[in-house]
């Protein structure tokens, strides 16, 4: 497999054009301080990888961004709205603009609903009628390389890779501006990982409207998918930058340790 996902011609957006902005963000569970003094801008139209060893805080930060985890202090602004200050209706509208894709989306797909029913609700939550949205459902399934016929099936009838495609289709159907993909390839075998990465590459072609936070512990996958990289350790950000620069000349000792731990060492390629 040879994958090139990054668009080298895609400009880096200006600092004030951030889809996510965190300032002095802290998050604790009881007495356990999980995220510490997070300062981060995620530009629109980019794929930003969150990497680090297990327990570094990657998923905790991602779940704060999508509103699953509530921050303890600091500020978190998503799509121009500060989450802590947003009223209930505003938060509800905001969450349709952000889609969280978990490692195994089976738990987030209603087992009692067909894929058509799930996608119809994504297109129009007030009137989730699969017949009314049949053309849109077929089109969004085609965009993730699934035939329209799968719309009448239920989540348990699909493999892990197919469920990931359906989760991506649902995010597209909602019209989200920001996708948060949490280890979406880690539970898949290598060939299916390759298929999902190729799919993300194809969806990104000519697309400057969508942004993605891509959480992974696999640096080779990050290299194939991401424009920028955020390295986390023990709840703190230790390095941020364009992926090629960080991988070629890491500034933090921890980043160098992560890169050196990959088979082949620094300069490895996904193949």
Q: What is the pLDDT of residues 125-158, one digit of tens each?
A: 887 889 999 999 999 999 999 999 999 999 999 9
User: What pLDDT score was predicted for residue 125?
Assistant: 85
- The per-residue pLDDT for 208 is 59
Structure confidence at residue 269 (pLDDT): 52
pLDDT at site 62: 94
Can you tell me the distance from the alpha carbon of 70 to that of 61, in angstroms, rounded to the nearest whole number? 10
The length of the chain is: 271
- The pLDDT of residue 267 is 44
- Which parts of the chain register pLDDT below 70? 1-16, 205-208, 263-271
Say what the pTM is: 0.84
**Contact between 208 and 10 (Cβ < 8 Å):** yes
Beta-carbon contacts of residue 135 (< 8 Å; ≥ 6 apart): none
Identify the DSSP state of 108. Answer: G
Residue 224 token pair: 């194939």
In this structure, the number of other CB atoms found within 10 A of the CB of residue 3 comes to 19
pLDDT, residue 265, reads 52
Nearest partner of 196 among 164, 218, 153, judged by Cα: 164
Kindly indicate whether the domain formed by 17-97+178-186+212-271 is annotated with CATH number 3.40.50.170.
Answer: no
């Amino acid at each position: 497999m040879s994958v090139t996902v990054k668009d080298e011609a895609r400009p880096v957006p200006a600092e004030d054009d951030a889809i996510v902005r965190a300032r002095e963000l802290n998050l604790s569970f009881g007495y356990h301080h999980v995220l510490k003094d997070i300062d981060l801008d995620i530009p629109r139209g980019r794929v930003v990888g969150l990497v680090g060893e297990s327990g570094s805080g990657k998923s905790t930060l991602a779940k704060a961004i999508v509103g699953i985890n509530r921050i303890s202090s600091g500020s978190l602004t998503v799509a121009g709205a500060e989450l802590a200050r947003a009223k209930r209706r505003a938060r509800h509208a905001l969450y349709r603009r952000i889609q969280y894709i978990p490692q195994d989306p089976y738990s987030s797909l209603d087992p009692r609903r067909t894929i058509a029913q799930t996608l119809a609700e994504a297109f129009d939550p007030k009137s989730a009628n699969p017949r009314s949205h049949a053309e849109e459902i077929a089109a969004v399934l085609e965009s993730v390389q699934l035939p329209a016929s799968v719309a009448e099936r239920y989540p348990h009838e699909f493999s892990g890779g197919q469920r990931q495609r359906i989760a991506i289709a649902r995010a597209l159907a909602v019209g989200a501006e920001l996708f948060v993909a949490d280890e979406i390839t880690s539970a898949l075998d290598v060939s299916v990982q390759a298929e999902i990465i190729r799919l993300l590459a194809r969806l990104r072609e000519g697309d400057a409207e969508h942004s993605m936070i891509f959480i992974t512990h696999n640096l080779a996958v990050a290299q194939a998918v991401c424009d920028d990289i955020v390295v986390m350790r023990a709840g703190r950000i230790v390095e941020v930058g364009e992926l090629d620069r960080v991988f070629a000349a890491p500034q933090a000792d921890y980043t160098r340790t992560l890169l050196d731990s990959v088979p082949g060492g620094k300069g490895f390629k996904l193949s």
